Amino acid sequence: SCSLFGLYLAFKYFDKDTVNLVISVYFCIVGLAALTATFAPVLASVGPTKVMTIEFSKHVELKHFLPKFIGGDSPWKMGIDCNVADIIAFMGSVAFCGVYFQTKHWTMNNVMGICFCLQGIERFSLGTYKIGAILLVGLFFYDIFWVFGTEVMVTVAKSLDGPIKILFPRSLVPDPTNGKLEMSLLGLGDIVIPGFFLALLLRFDAHVAKVPCFPTDLHVPFPKPYFHSALLGYVLGLATTLYVMIVFEAAQPALLYLVPACLGSSLLCAAVRGELKELSEYSEEEEEEEEGEDNEKKDETSKKDD
């Protein structure tokens, strides 16, 4: 809320182009990291394995004279470890961000936005179903307040020229008054927040199917009833959002429709399967700890046998 209101004040009291310039520089730097992290594994999997997996490593120590409570221990130990796929992805990302900074084309905006979503969902875990449900309910009211109760959300979304939203052209014919396409938009938060929840449900499906956490096998098949039901709910909620937006020709808080769809579909699936208690008590932290302890015991047993 503070960040959102701060951006609103910035656009209201400062030059819009200057604010967008500063934000564009920031998003290009962050986008560089997101694009590299997203496309490097793709290049590693489709390119020649022997070439793409060649590794480079450089580590240096830099002495400093700052107080320990400011700079920490001296020397600073810094290093970089990468492979050929990382380097190629980084160079391509630099070119991509440079072109995006100059053109701000909506398709490039969407590519960066999708990369932000993928990296966010991949690196963040809600931990428990209860935390996910509380987060969704809280953001449900947050979205309604800032969209229906104030002009803040709509003003920032329309004024901020950056990959914080996915853009959809309403028509392929540019507006004759300004030469630009008329766009509809979907905020990244309406993708990432439900994405966190769907990722949690996917891991719960794996837990129910007794798929081991360690070692992780991304390609092992298992039934995914909770993930598929919540994904269907998300699609229906998003379709409802677009329908209401088009019919009433007004901005809509997408989480108003997405939160009941995602929560309701997961609870309905649990009720049908008789697993409401298991779903409400599911915790990823406890599962990982138990799996780790089991692996340690197995290692100790194997060592004793040797």
The two structure tokens encoding residue 87: 């380097």
Rounded CA-CA distance 38/50 in Å is 20
Nearest C-alpha neighbor of 171 from the set 100, 254, 246 = 246
Tell me if residue 61 falls in helix, strand or coil. Answer: strand
Q: Phi-psi category of 34—alpha, beta or left, where left has phi over 0 and alpha has psi -120 to 50?
A: alpha
Active-site pick, 143, 161, 175, 306? 143
The secondary structure of residue 275, as a DSSP letter, is: -
Determine whether 190 is an active site residue.
yes
**Pairing relationship of beta strands 55-62 and 76-83 according to DSSP bridges:** antiparallel
The two structure tokens encoding residue 13: 């009291």
Which backbone phi and psi does 55 adopt, to 5 degrees?
Answer: -105, 150
The answer for residues whose C-beta is within 8 angstroms of residue 304's C-beta and 6 or more apart is: none
Active-site pick, 190, 299, 305, 306? 190
Kindly provide the residue ranges of all beta strands, DSSP E only, lying in 3-152, ordered along the sequence.
55-62, 76-83
Determine whether 81 is an active site residue.
no
Look-up of token digits 């120590």: 61
- C-beta of residue 188 within 8 angstroms of C-beta of residue 117: yes
Tell me if residue 242 falls in helix, strand or coil. Answer: helix
Tell me if residue 16 falls in helix, strand or coil. Answer: helix
Rounded CA-CA distance 64/59 in Å is 16
Q: Which residues are catalytic?
A: 143, 190
